[in-house]
Structure 1
């Protein structure tokens, strides 16, 4: 199983750093990735640091470049996180540019989909993002997230919905991107209850938001993921 823990901008940064230090002393038996508000050096033995964002290839200001990530020993970044796309009005073409920049610079993308609730639109969204991208031999992580669940802080999806999304995305990838090495994770108010359900449905992992501000609160999720591993 994969666990991706993503802090947001309202979590105090000193608290995030304390979380990372405390987490470094815990037993972690699965692939764990943590995305602080701003990336710090990935120097921990039991988990890796990932970036919340990556810039487009052209010159810009105030965004994270591949060079910065390489300097910090970070090889993975969110691309087009849904909350960012909604709040900053980032369209699919911008997300495609970020994805192209990640692939060109050996940054593994965590590519978010789920902007629309209709499963057909989710597949079309993914198809638009992946079309004509140089994906062969490049490992990626696909992340489906229930945006409404994330924003409202409760699980609004059904097991049937999660199953339908899983099956349709797996079918699309098998038929249209058979050469791509990918993992598929799910988010949207995931916790120690949702993680085993996601695992049983065939997901490779879970995406977890910022409601766990210290390791003691995160412990039940950590225990559940260790057991699944």
Structure 2
């Protein structure tokens, strides 16, 4: 089944997000759909999963989401170091690694974001810094995102580029971390056109940003994702 992760980020009106979730709860969803509202809400929907945009480090902090909050809301998946957060807040890989450690210790499935740099060697270097010596015994999600495409609001990558990234990450994981069970998803202006391309290349799913604020606007993408999952 195709995996799709929809992230509302922080500029979408929260009431609009709640309406979207309610409308989607009555829709035909054949894809493994995970949705990340700005503020976590209880994960009690039947046809999609609520996930978290972020998770704190283990040390005491202020204004971040703890594993305890996520467990209370029945949320078991969280982004760890989303690329836009890393860029806008200057969040380095060592901080992201601490977030990952906290997720693993508290049975939170991480969505690990990579792609801050377009160089293929740097992509796998990011992964290696995050994964090395981590006690990963359960499935994880790796999200490669074309950061420039996300920021500019249009697909700036070529098919050859995202195929090369796919192949490089697959080869790296097979060679260096063969025991890790993972899904690889593609982000960066994903829509009803980009999703089938990602699927054909071999990605397990797609990461979709905050362009879709209503079920009506998202429906064409959902229709394509449902067809890909059949």
Q: What is the TM-score normalised by the length of structure 1?
A: 0.99
Aligned-residue offset at 1:134? 0.7
Q: Which residue is equivalent to 2:134? A: 133
**Is the partner of 1:112 in helix, strand or coil?**
strand
Q: Which residue is equivalent to 1:89? A: 90
Deviation digits for residues 77-104 of structure 1 (CA, Å, limit 9, x no counterpart): 0000000000000000000000000000
Unaligned runs of 5+ in 2: none
Aligned-residue offset at 1:138? 1.4
Distance 1:26 1:5 in 2: 15
Alignment of 1:145-184 (within 5 A): 145-184=145-184
**Is the partner of 1:184 in helix, strand or coil?**
strand
Distance 1:221 1:204 in 2: 16
Distance 2:61 2:133 in 1: 24
Distance 1:103 1:25 in 2: 33
Q: Which residue is equivalent to 1:200? A: 200
Unaligned runs of 5+ in 1: none
**Is the partner of 2:148 in helix, strand or coil?**
helix
**Is the partner of 1:155 in helix, strand or coil?**
coil
Aligned-residue offset at 1:26? 0.5
1:14 aligns with 2:29: no
1:48 aligns with 2:49: yes
Q: Which residue is equivalent to 2:102? A: 101
Distance 2:25 2:89 in 1: 33
| Length, aligned pairs only | 228
Q: What is the TM-score normalised by the length of structure 2?
A: 0.98
Q: Which residue is equivalent to 2:221? A: 221
Aligned-residue offset at 1:15? 0.2
* Aligned residues: CA RMSD: 0.5
Distance 1:22 1:44 in 2: 11
Distance 2:221 2:141 in 1: 20
Deviation digits for residues 122-181 of structure 1 (CA, Å, limit 9, x no counterpart): 11111111111111x211000000000000000000000000000000001001111111
* Structure 1 runs (4+) greater than 4 angstroms displaced: none
Alignment of 1:19-30 (within 5 A): 19-30=20-31
Aligned-residue offset at 1:22? 0.3
